[in-house]
Amino acid sequence: MSGTFSVIHRDTSCSARLGSLKTDHGVIETPIFMPVGTNATVKAMTPEDLLAVEARIILANTYHLYLRPGHRLVEQMGGLHSFMNWDGPILTDSGGFQVFSLGELRKISEEGVKFQSHLDGSYHMLTPELAVHVQEALGADIIMCFDECPPATAEYGYVSRSLDLTARWAERCKKAHGREGQQLFGIIQGGMHFDLRARSIADICSIGFDGYALGGLSVGEEKEQMYGVMECCSPLLPQDSPRYIMGIGAPEDLMEAIWHGYDMFDCVMPTRNARNGMLFTSRGRVNIKSKLYENDAGPLDPDCICKVCKNYSRAYLRHLYRAGEILASQLNTYHNLHFYLDLIRRAREAIQENRFDLFRRQFYSQYPRNNNLKEDN
């Protein structure tokens, strides 16, 4: 729709593709992973650190920034880019997933969602129009439609009604959106039901957006269900628009999503797990808390060239974590994000050379597939 995205190469071995997404704050090469900066900061990372690990776009959260410090204050400060000293592209989610996560603290209606703040118990009504207006005030390069995200266990009838509501809200979002240079993405729902996903794609694409996102994944379903939804939706989505899968983040999930032709991903997994001592390496995850590493003088990942692996031992990283040192979160997060973004960089190189099929198989030969990695709380 916008002409800001182009597919520049398709791998001949699978559906993986390279893309170029133009924004007012730079061009993004896809596939790309977006670190999550919920409160206008990627936890434990400075903007300079993000540049060092080659982050090209980050995600901020509408729900949280609406509640604190408030979108009007951010707007007065010159928008998110100025406020957080990040000159690269920013994507904001609509707040729909956070509202879904509130459970009994929210009530859904045609108008929108009435919810109770997790901060002070105050009541708010978030409508599609307000979600767009908040994101416009924040000044993100890419914003998301407001949607309802049903749980993976929701029964068929509920999911059917929910995606119809999401489509009506999407129409209202598009009508409300007016900020020049800001791209608006529509969100596909439908749970684990292939026919409902197809219907949602038809409905959302008929409205017309700058990009399209799969919502409602990584919400408790089995891996194979998730991959099945990826596979069924890929051929139905527009070929000339960016495709974003929201909230997926295990390395094997990224491999499968790229394999099926998706372009953009985000998840708190690398940052949240870093703060809980769970680190990602080329040979699988490492629980740095384990006594196994008490006397280990070796690097966290011998194949990694990040500053953490070049300069610090596993024994030291374990000591920092067990001592409760702030440096533990800083180093662990730096490494995890470097691992993710380097993995995606190498995936792009493989696609360019028409060898992503081989790259994927080599990845799995070292990294345990479907290891049921859970996000630590």
Fill in the DSSP letter of residue 26: E
- The encoded tokens of residue 277 equal 């001592």
Q: Is 76 exposed, middle or buried (0-12, 13-18, 19+ CB in 10 A)?
A: exposed
Q: Give 281's strand partners.
A: 284
Could you give the angle at which helices 156-176 and 128-138 cross, rounded to 10 degrees? 50
Catalytically annotated residue among 147, 263, 266, 301? 266
| CA pair distance 32, 145, nearest whole angstrom | 20
Q: What is the dihedral of CA 151, 157, 160, 162, to 10 degrees?
A: -50
Amino acid found at 15: S
Could you give the angle at which helices 251-259 and 223-233 cross, rounded to 10 degrees? 20
Q: How many CB atoms within 10 Å of residue 254?
A: 22
Catalytically annotated residue among 11, 93, 147, 253? 93
Active site residue 93: yes
Can you tell me which residue has the tokens 């870093």?
274
Active site residue 266: yes
Tell me which residues are annotated as active site: 93, 266
